[in-house]
Structure 1
Amino acid sequence: MPTTHSDIDIAARNRVAFPLLVPFVLIAALVAVRWAPLHTLDDTVSDRMHAAALAGAGWVDVSTWLTHILSPTSWRLAVLVLVIWLFRRGARSVALWAAGTMIVGGVLGAVLKLVFSRARPEFLEPIAKASGYAFPSGHALNSALGAAILLLVLLPILRGRPGARAALWTAMIVLPLVTALTRVVVGVHWLSDVTAGLFLGAAIAVASAAVYSRRGVPEPVTG
């Protein structure tokens, strides 16, 4: 059924961008000032996850596999497919919004890593290694960003199809959470890294949709 680009801001019209951004800002501030309770929590979670991972090789294999499958590249490819689909249906401005939001979000995440320059967890028996800084998690940020973009574009198209909408919601919530979990399990991120990344990715997409929706030029997208 037809929809317009104003439908793209379903979440934005509910004004959820700010509530999503608040947890990120709070965690970022606590990381910046090296708040001891947060670091204690991060250490405890990482140590327990690492011990559990070493005790169960199967869990490590699954987590390693998933962390590669659900990489930022995979989410970027998913959004690229969406962009191509939108272009083929004449919804060019929506396609440009999706592409631009994914690019800007990824760049912002990379810049924030340099700003915070937080070291990654270190273990005597590491399961995996990752280059660069830890905060915020790029995997978590890009997964939440990509999932939010897919939700904002596809939900209006699936209006009147509750089963498909429920499946989409479930997938776009579960997959970013799984992505974040695997980064902690394989020992390359702290809990606060992935939590902040999830909130920031979702906030970027919703805030971008809110700005885009104010352009006021309807553009049909058919399902």
Structure 2
Amino acid sequence: MHSEPPIARAGLTVLLLVPAAVLAALVSAGWAPLRAFDRAVADRLHEVAHGAPALTTVMTWLTNLFQPNVFRVAAFILVIWLARRGARRTATWVAVTMIAGGVLGGLLKLLFGRARPDFLDPVAAAVGYAFPSGHALNSALAVTIAVLLVPRWWALWLIPVLTALSRVYLGVHWTSDVIAGLLLGAAVPLLTARAFTRDRAALTGPVSGGRSRSGLP
């Protein structure tokens, strides 16, 4: 299977991490234009949510269907499947990536301590801090792993996008929360893949039925 040049993957990782870092800095600084943008989007979608109950039901189903634990269970099943096929290094990569991404998200939430949107008549509720969105981050983690293993599955990226949209629509996250979650969720697998192998073909080999000689079975 054709593999992406390491420099291209490194460039993509930078393109993901730089805007995530900028967003984090702006959130930390309480940059007024960003706060105003987040508030405006949240207020507008809140109005839509109350005026379109059918759509709100769909968004609620989406946010519940694509919650972080769903992707964690899916990753766990993938790890077992890969290990049983003898692809233990790839299985380890999947496990490390999901754990590292989840821990990173949790630590950032504690570090920034950002409050979630508040409304007098909320359509949904969530606990914990807002930045970054755990739903967006974990869905992006899992889907990026899947796309690195099977590149033709790139259309799966619709799942993190819909997940992120549902969180803002339901008023439990700011727009900047979900954007940061998507960026970080896509960047972490690229970073861990570089640590585990120099060639993406080494990761895709076990899934496509091939065997790699670069350390990944």
Q: Which of 88, 98, 102 in structure 2 is aligned with 1:106?
A: 102
Find runs of 4+ consecutive structure 1 residues off by over 2 angstroms.
Answer: 10-13
Q: Which of 161, 166, 177 in structure 2 is aligned with 1:193?
A: 177
C-alpha separation between the residues in 2 aligned to 1:44 and 1:69?
27
| TM-score (structure 1 length as normaliser) | 0.86
Residue of structure 1 equivalent to 2:160: 176
Matched letter for residue 120 of structure 1: R
C-alpha separation between the residues in 2 aligned to 1:84 and 1:11?
29
| TM-score (structure 2 length as normaliser) | 0.89
1:45 partnered with 2:41 = yes
1:57–1:12 CA distance, 2 compared to 1 (3 A): farther
Greater RCO structure (CA 8 Å; 6+ sep): 1
Structure 1, 91-100 or 77-86: larger mean CA deviation: 77-86
Structure 1, 182-191 or 14-23: larger mean CA deviation: 14-23
CA contact (8 A) 1:137 1:197 kept: yes
In structure 1, the gaps of 5 or more residues are 156-164
Structure 1, 26-35 or 76-85: larger mean CA deviation: 76-85
Residue of structure 1 equivalent to 2:70: 74
1:92 partnered with 2:88 = yes
Q: CA RMSD in A?
A: 1.9
How many residues were matched structurally? 204
Q: Which of 194, 201, 205 in structure 1 is aligned with 2:189?
A: 205
SS in 1 for 2:165: helix
Deviation at 1:81, TM superposition (A): 2.0
SS in 1 for 2:44: helix
In structure 2, the gaps of 5 or more residues are 210-217
Percent identity, aligned pairs only? Answer: 50
SS in 2 for 1:78: helix
1:169–1:126 CA distance, 2 compared to 1 (3 A): same
